[in-house]
Structure 1
Amino acid sequence: MTGERQGIAFTLDGANEVTFVRVLNDVLHDAAFRRPLQVQAQEPRAGEPGRLTIAFHEGDRTRAVAAMQRLKTILLRHGLQIDNIVIPGA
């Protein structure tokens, strides 16, 4: 597929390393996030929150939005508040 990828970015303020790894493990084993979507992760570091981004091509926007809803569910299951979501073109 051609074209640049877009991404739905989640900032996870308050997620410690253990919780972040648990969330990432759930995401990596969930069919909602399979190709052609791509999950990009940035673990939390001192003073910096963790981030998860669902990257997708424009043609996969519907699938990406469904994955975003699934990620919200996973985050809530781990007791994380969703502090910030950035959706391209929204």
Structure 2
Amino acid sequence: MTDTPQGIAFTLDGVDELTFARILRDVMTDPAFRRPLQIQAQEPRPGVPARLTVAFDPAERERAVLAMQRLKTVLLRHGVQVDSVRVPGETR
């Protein structure tokens, strides 16, 4: 029996379509995000910020947290401030 997949969600307010496409390109070619992890992307739309989610099975939590740190680095390289990050199982 497989556990329910989880995800670390990044909300990216103010990211335009071109920047989002560049970020997504970098993420999709970076080995830190390879299977069994999965990247789910929601492009920016008027009134709706861009969103990236690192989806993973609970057994891959450690790998997902490392990928989250890598994603923060990729975002900083593109001058993107992360507005919020939601990690399952952590309370703020």
2:40 is paired with a residue of what secondary structure?
strand
User: Which AA in structure 2 matches 1:29?
Assistant: T
Segments of structure 2 that go 5 or more residues without pairing to the other structure are none
2:66 is paired with a residue of what secondary structure?
helix
TM-score, length-scaled by structure 1? 0.98
Deviations 1:39-87 (A, max 9, x none): 0000000111000000001100000000000000000000000100000
Over the residues paired in the alignment, what is the CA RMSD in angstroms?
A: 0.8
1:51 match: 51
State the alpha-carbon separation in 1 of the partners of residues 23 and 2 from structure 2: 30
Cα deviation, residue 2, structure 1: 1.2
2:48 is paired with a residue of what secondary structure?
coil
Percent identity between matched residues is 66
State the alpha-carbon separation in 1 of the partners of residues 69 and 88 from structure 2: 15
State the alpha-carbon separation in 2 of the partners of residues 22 and 73 from structure 1: 14
1:73 maps onto 2:79 in alignment: no
Q: Which runs of 4+ in 1 moved over 3 A?
A: none
State the alpha-carbon separation in 1 of the partners of residues 82 and 9 from structure 2: 11
State the alpha-carbon separation in 1 of the partners of residues 26 and 34 from structure 2: 12
